[in-house]
Amino acid sequence: MAYITYSKKNKKLTNISPTRIIVSSFVMIIFVGACLLNLPMASNDGKSIGFLDALFTATSATCVTGLVVADTLTQWTLLGQIVILILIQVGGLGLVTLTTFFSVLLGKKVSLKGKIIAQESISEYSYTDVLGMIKNIVLITAVIELIGAAFLSISFVPRFGVRGIYLSIFHSISAFCNAGFDLFGNYSSLTGFYEDPLVIYATALLIIVGGLGFIVWKDLYHFRIEHKLYLHTKIVLIVTFFLIVFGAVSFFGLEYSNPDTMGGLTLFQKVNAAFFHSVTCRTAGFNTLPLDEMSEVSKMVSILLMYIGAAPGSTAGGIKVTTFGIILMAIISNIKGDSETIVLRRRVSQEVVSKALSIVGLSMVLIFIMTVIINGVEKLSFINVLYEVTSSFGTVGLSTGMTPSLHNISKILIIFTMFLGRVGPLTFAIAIAMRANKRMQNAVFPEGKIMVG
C-alpha cells in the first residue's frame, strides 16, 4: 500500500509541465532578487528602497527589460549593482539552463525529465543533444560577453580609468542579454556616446547576436559542414535584417530634421543614431537619442519593432520575428489563393500558423488592456503609455521617462506585463499545442457556416 502511495506521488511530480517549472524558476529568482535589493545595504542612502520598487527592479532585470523606477548608478551600491547583473545573466540564459549546465559540469546525471525541461527552456528541437547544446550556450555566451567587454574597455577605460573595466563587463552582459541597464547616471543610457562609433556598434552587435537565439547559433556553426540552414534560421536572419533596415531608414527620415533628436548631428552621426535605435528597439533598451523628444510617428515605429522583438530561444522578448514572419506569409499565401502557408518554398503546418495567430492575438489583448488601465490611472499621453506598456511586454526597457513617477497600481501592472512578456509567448505556444484531454481528441464536430471580412 505504501508503494502505491509513493508511486502516485512520484507520478504526480513527473507529470509537472516543463512550462510550469520554467515559469516557477523565473518567479523564484525574481523573489530572491527582490529580497536582496530590498536590503538597506543595497541602496546608497542606506535605506530600503521598498519592496515594490525592489520587486519592480528585480523583475525588470530577470526579464531582461531595463525599465527602472530609480537610477541604477545613484540608487544602488556595488552590492545592488552586482545583484542586478546576476539577475540579468540568469534571466537572459534562464535558471534552468544554468542549473543544468552546472549539473553537467559537476558530473551529475540529468534525468529525462530534466532534459525535456532544458529543451523547453532553450527552445531546442529535441532533447537528445540538449546537454551538449546547453554547455555550448553557456560557454559561447561567456566568450562573447568577454569579447564585448574587451571592445567596450577601449573606450571606457581611457574615460573612467580602472572603473572602466567594471563598466565594460556590466554593459557587455547587459547588451548581450538585451537588458538595457546602464551605469552612467541620470537615466542617460548611452546618450553621452552618440559620437563614439566603437561603443555604438559594439553594443549593437552584442544586442543582435543575443537576439538571434541559440538555435540559430548552432545552425550557423554547422553551416560550414552541412551547407544548409533550417527554415527557422532563414526566417530569423531575413526578418531580422529587414526590420533593422526598415527601422534605420524610418528613424533616419523621420528624425533627420528634428532639432531635439538628430537635427544637430552630422550625417555620419545621424546614420549611427538611426541604426542603433533600430537595433535597440528590438528589445535591448539602450538609447543614444532623447526618446521623449521623438515624433509620434517615430514612437509608433518603435512600438511596432518592440512588439515584434527578436528570435525564439534568445535573450530577447516580443512576439518573436518568426511569429511575425509566419503571420505575414500566411496573409500573402491567402491573398495568392494558396491552400497552405508557404515560406521559402516550404509548407508550414496549420498548427504553427494557429500558434502564431494565438500569440499575436493574446499579446495584443494584453497590451491593450494594460494600456487602457494604466492610461486611466496616470492620465498621461496615450501614445506614451502605449510605448511604455509595449516596451515592458517586449522586455525592451525604452521609456519616455514616465516609469519613475508611476503610481503603485501602474507599477504592479508593468511588473505583470514584463513577466508575461518574458515567459508568456512561450507559455501560450505550449499551452495551445497541448490537447485538452484524450476524450476529445477524436471527436468530430459538425461544420458551422460563418461569414468573415
Cell of 446: 459538425
Question: Which helix H or strand E contains 241, and what residues bound it?
Answer: helix 231-255
Residue 102 to residue 30: CA distance in whole angstroms = 20
Give the tens place of pLDDT for each residue, 61-88.
998 888 999 999 999 999 999 999 999 9
**Quick check: 64 and 88 in contact, CB under 8 A?**
yes
- What would the mean pLDDT of 296-311 be, rounded to a whole number? 93
Q: Which residue has the higher pLDDT, 145 or 433?
A: 145
pTM of the model: 0.85
What are the φ/ψ torsions at residue 191 (nearest 5 degrees)? -65, -20
HEC sequence for 284-333 = CCCCCCCHHHCCHHHHHHHHHHHHHCCCCCCCCCCCCHHHHHHHHHHHHH
Is 42 strand, coil or helix?
helix
Residues 367, 403: Cα–Cα separation, whole Å = 16
Residues 379-404 have pLDDT tens digits of 888 999 999 999 999 989 898 888 88
Q: Please report which confidence band the pLDDT of residue 10 belongs to, taking 50, 70 and 90 as the band edges.
A: very low
CA–CA separation, 408 vs 279, rounded Å?
31
Read off φ and ψ for residue 343, nearest 5 degrees: -130, 115
Which helix (DSSP H) or strand (DSSP E) does residue 121 occupy? helix 112-122
Query: For residue range 319-378, what is the model confidence (pLDDT) as tens digits?
Result: 889 999 999 998 998 888 888 888 888 888 888 888 888 889 889 999 999 999 999 998
Name 36's Cβ contacts closer than 8 Å, sequence gap at least 6.
42, 58, 83
Q: What is the mean pLDDT of residues 222-238?
A: 85
Whether the per-residue pLDDT at 130 is higher than 70: the answer is no
Task: Specify the higher pLDDT residue, 279 or 120.
Answer: 279
Q: What average pLDDT does the chain have?
A: 83
Identify the DSSP state of 162: T
- The cell for 221 is 556553426
- In sequence order, what are the beta bridge partners of 342? 347
The SS3 call for residue 104 is helix
C-alpha–C-alpha distance, residues 89 and 179, integer Å: 9
Secondary structure in 3-state letters for 124-137: CCCCCCHHHHHHHH
Do 440 and 418 form a contact (C-beta atoms < 8 A)?
no
Kindly list the distances between the CA atom of residue 376 and the CA atoms of 67, 380, 403, 408, in Å, as whole numbers in the listed order.
Answer: 20, 8, 15, 13
One-letter amino acid at 116 equals I
406: buried, middle or exposed (CB in 10 Å: 19+, 13-18, 0-12)? Answer: buried
Residue type, 232: H
CA–CA gap between residue 55 and residue 286 (Å, rounded): 21
Q: What is the pLDDT of residue 205?
A: 93
Point out which residues pair with 76 in neighbouring strands: 43
Q: Which cell numbers in the block locate residue 407? A: 503610481
Q: Give the mean model confidence (pLDDT) for residues 398-418.
A: 91
CB atoms within 10 A of CB 416: 15
DSSP assignment of 343-406: ETTEEE-HHHHHHHHHHHHHHHHHHHHHHHHHHHHH---HHHHHHHHHHHHTT----SS-GGG-
Beta bridge partners of 347: 342
Mean pLDDT of the 96-112 span? 54
Q: How far apart are CA 417 and CA 363, in angstroms?
A: 10
Q: Match 556598434 to its residue by C-alpha cell.
A: 201
Would you state the pLDDT for residue 96? Answer: 52
Predicted local distance difference test score (pLDDT) of residue 12: 44
pLDDT category at 103 given cuts 50, 70, 90 is low
Q: What is the mean pLDDT of residues 142-147?
A: 92
**Residue ranges of the domains in the chain?**
12-432
Strand partners, 346: 343
